[in-house]
Structure 1
Amino acid sequence: MTTRASRTTTKPPKIDGRRPVELDDGDADDLSAHTTVERMRYSDVDLSGRDLAGVTLSECELTGVSIDGTDFTSARMVDTRIERVHAPRFSASRSTMHNVRIVDSRIGALDLYDSGLRSVVVTDSKISLINLRAGNLRDVLFRGCIIDELDLAEASLTRVAFEDSRIGDLDVNRATLAHVDLRGAEIGAIRNLDGLRGATISGHQAVALAGMFAAHLGIQIDS
């Protein structure tokens, strides 16, 4: 009797819809740490160097905003859209993002260490470094993104996918992955290959990464 190994279908992210709401134009001077802001739009303002630790943004939009060294530590963003943001340094460790869209943005270092992301979509953005160490990602999609370095060490990922994206360097040291779809990503290098367990890659990717897999397993390839 022949038995066949069961195949587990990679489940796509479940992205919540965003209902349209009326937004008021907000005054950036009113933004401060540990405040709650609802249904506000902030356009073409400079928030660089501001202390916004612990701020809550609910059903808000940040459009054309400059963020350099702004402290979003422990911030909470819900049903919020971030578009055309310029941020050499975006510091948001230990923050929470639920149903957030990041669109057409240019970010140098995005620090989301120990953060929780759920139903988050990042589209058409270039990010030099994303630090998601020890983060918890559930239902997250990267589409049309260029990411020079993606640090997922010790992070937990469930239903995370990449579409038409490029990752220069991927670190999955001690990561926990479930239904993580890497087939839509061009990957330059992967560190700590053991952490890939639970991810799906394409046959083409497997061939392209064969040298790294062989080196990891101590296999010599004789050309």
Structure 2
Amino acid sequence: MALLDSREFGDHQWKKISQQELDVVLEKHKLFANGRTGGERATLSMYDLSYLDLSGRNLARIECAGTLFCHCDLSDANLEGAVLFAADMRFTNLKRVKLDKADIRGACLAGSDLTGATLIDADMRDGVLLKPKKGGGDLIPVIHEDATGGFEKATIRGANMTGAKVSDSMIVQTDMTDCILRNAKFIRTNLSLSNLTGCDLEGADFTDANLSGAIFHGAVFNHTNLSNADLSGADLVGAIFDNMDLTKVNLDVAYLAKRVEDMDVSLQEAILMHARWVDSNGSEGHRAVFSKTDLTGKDLSGVNLAASDFSFAILQKVDFARSELLMADLSFADLRKANLARADLRGAKLSRANLVEANLVGAQLSEIVISTKAQGGKVRTNLDHAILRDAKMNGADLRSADLESADLRGADLRDADLRGASLLDADLTNADLRGAILDGADTRGALGLPGGE
């Protein structure tokens, strides 16, 4: 294979290869990866593959230690078990790539897009590649120009990193929204200012990690180890804590939901003032604002709370039965085991709310028609990315509701009306849909539907 040129940084030289030459190498590797005759494992360590197209390729077990992948297209590629030790993957398109059990130690992925990638059991710990100095002699570290290992300012939305080893890495200012991080190791990792909204953190280990300024809205902490983690300035409002030992965690420096006792006015007074505000079209009283407040177990049944603000509130086991919650903001709220039976939630915002085992029997969740001087038209009830696992939704009116990417696994949707609803990428695995009406619903990408995936 002829090499076109080379790039040299200090004592290190990267071999350059053309797209046409690379395609030949990768075709042979494909045969190797598939166990076919004539195959040959690709060894591209210390090559410069910058700006080349490797998308959709079977690159399982490829050898690419110290390789330059800057600005490459690796989307939809299979890199299972690949050796990417100390590779430079800055600004690389890694959407939907498979990196399960890959060796990514010391690799630089700053600015890369790993949306929808899988990194199950991948090794992403710190590491340094050593090579002999030019002319022989001592081993010296391979250093990429202006690159350091880690994921700084990368996008890792929706990636599955179950069991990944990420200890001692840099993941600063990284978007990790909706990642699955079960049993992942983040010991001494710097995750400062990163966005972990909606992450599944069950069994993850953040011992001695830097989580300062990180955002955990709607993240689920279950048997998560936060021992000696730095949570200064971390936003834990709307996070879910289950089976947690917080004795070695300093939460005083983090942002958490406030207790109802710390409100400026009593709960009863706030409800009365809100009723006056609603009845007078806003000319008297005050809107009820319970955002970021812990109201666990309170009885708010049969109350008019239309257009109230419960965003990021802790509402576990709250009784909202038959209450009016039209146009209310319940986004990111913790509504686990809450009673919303026959409540009027038309036009409400429930984006990323946690409604595990909630009672929504007969609830009104259809769109609402608004006709005022300021605005007009229909407003859909927003349940996108809401967690409705094992929720009781028998007979609920969900016409035209937005349930995009909602988790409806095990939900009881018998006789529910879902006409015109958006179920894009929703998960209805093991949901009971007997008698449910789905006419006109958008079910593209939905899981668990009869006759579907």
What TM bracket, shorter-length normalisation?
Answer: 0.7 to 0.9
Deviations 1:29-65 (A, max 9, x none): 5870011112222122211111110111121111221
Q: Which amino acid aligns with 2:43?
A: D
Q: Which amino acid aligns with 2:223?
A: H
The structure number with the bigger radius of gyration is 2
Q: 1:173 to 1:110 in 2, by over 3 A?
A: same
1:24: Cα distance to partner? 6.0
For residues 77-116 of structure 1, what are the structure 2 equivalents within 5 Å? Answer: 77-104=99-126, 105-116=149-160
Hey, what does 1:15 align to over in structure 2?
Answer: none
Alignment partner of 1:63 is 2:107:
no
The DSSP-based 3-state class of the residue aligned with 2:166 is: strand
Give, in whole Å, the separation in 1 of the partners of 2:236 and 2:168: 28
Hey, what does 2:300 align to over in structure 1?
Answer: none
Q: Which amino acid aligns with 1:42?
A: C
Give, in whole Å, the separation in 2 of the partners of 1:212 and 1:86: 31
Hey, what does 2:238 align to over in structure 1?
Answer: 194
Give, in whole Å, the separation in 2 of the partners of 1:166 and 1:147: 6
For residues 1-223 of structure 1, what are the structure 2 equivalents within 5 Å? Answer: 25-26=43-44, 29=49, 32-104=54-126, 105-198=149-242, 199-203=244-248, 205-206=250-251, 208-209=252-253, 212-213=255-256, 216-217=258-259, 219=262
Give, in whole Å, the separation in 2 of the partners of 1:79 and 1:166: 25
1:122: Cα distance to partner? 0.4
Name whichever structure is richer in strand by fraction. 1
Q: Is the 8 A contact 1:177 1:197 kept in 2?
A: yes
Q: Is the 8 A contact 2:216 2:236 kept in 1?
A: yes
Q: Is the 8 A contact 2:209 2:228 kept in 1?
A: yes
Q: 1:24 to 1:103 in 2, by over 3 A?
A: farther
The DSSP-based 3-state class of the residue aligned with 2:68 is: coil
Q: 1:202 to 1:52 in 2, by over 3 A?
A: same
Structure with the greater relative contact order (CA < 8 A, sep ≥ 6): 1 or 2? 1
Q: Is the 8 A contact 2:228 2:249 kept in 1?
A: no
Q: 1:62 to 1:188 in 2, by over 3 A?
A: same
Give, in whole Å, the separation in 2 of the partners of 1:102 and 1:59: 12
1:193: Cα distance to partner? 2.4
1:25: Cα distance to partner? 2.3
Q: Is the 8 A contact 2:67 2:87 kept in 1?
A: yes
Please report the TM-score for the alignment, with normalisation by the length of structure 2: 0.40
- Bigger shift: residues 103-112 or 134-143: 103-112
The DSSP-based 3-state class of the residue aligned with 2:59 is: strand
Give, in whole Å, the separation in 2 of the partners of 1:102 and 1:36: 21
Q: Which amino acid aligns with 2:175?
A: N
Give, in whole Å, the separation in 1 of the partners of 2:154 and 2:178: 14
Please report the TM-score for the alignment, with normalisation by the length of structure 1: 0.77
* Aligned-pair Cα RMSD in Å: 2.5
Q: Which amino acid aligns with 1:217?
A: R
Give, in whole Å, the separation in 1 of the partners of 2:175 and 2:228: 20
User: Structure 1: 5+ residue runs without aligned partners?
Assistant: 1-22
Hey, what does 1:14 align to over in structure 2?
Answer: none
Q: 1:182 to 1:26 in 2, by over 3 A?
A: same
Identity over aligned residues, as a percent?
A: 13
Q: Is the 8 A contact 1:79 1:99 kept in 2?
A: yes
Q: Which amino acid aligns with 1:149?
A: L
- Bigger shift: residues 154-163 or 193-202: 193-202
Any runs of at least 4 consecutive aligned residues in structure 1 with deviations exceeding 6 A, and if so which?
none
1:102: Cα distance to partner? 0.5
Give, in whole Å, the separation in 2 of the partners of 1:88 and 1:59: 21
Hey, what does 2:29 align to over in structure 1?
Answer: none
Q: 1:82 to 1:168 in 2, by over 3 A?
A: same
Hey, what does 1:12 align to over in structure 2?
Answer: none
Q: 1:101 to 1:31 in 2, by over 3 A?
A: farther
The DSSP-based 3-state class of the residue aligned with 1:141 is: coil
